Amino acid sequence: MRGYARCKDNRYGRETNESLYTARGEGFTAEVESFAVEEGLQVIGRIPYDPGVTQRTMEEKSVVEDEQTTAGAAMREIYARFEKQL
């Protein structure tokens, strides 16, 4: 399983599937965060790339409840921030 995002590739003027796992991933993250700010949306966290997510998914286990994944820890932190805003 791979994570892809639909994005506009300005170099070619067409939409492409851009892997978030490439070196451009950080640039893409900054692009998404910049868009959110421009639209008046608050960014409440980042979920880092974590190879443990694929493993937990294959095992049909919850990533959020898994204490071993950094992505799971980030998701719990984001949830806590979101819950405080409700």
* pTM across the whole model: 0.61
More confident residue, 11 or 41: 41
Q: What stretches of 1-86 show up as alpha helix (H) in DSSP?
A: 25-38, 51-58, 70-85
pLDDT at 2 over 80: no
Query: What digits encode the pLDDT tens for the residues 24-63?
Result: 556 778 888 889 899 999 888 988 888 888 888 899 999 9
By CB atoms closer than 10 A (0-12, 13-18, 19+), residue 53 is buried
- Whole-number pLDDT of residue 51: 87
Taking residues 9-15, report their average pLDDT: 44
Residue 7 has pLDDT above 80, yes or no: no
pLDDT above 70 for 73 = yes
> What is the predicted pLDDT for the residue at 76?
94
Cα 27 from Cα 46, distance rounded (Å): 13
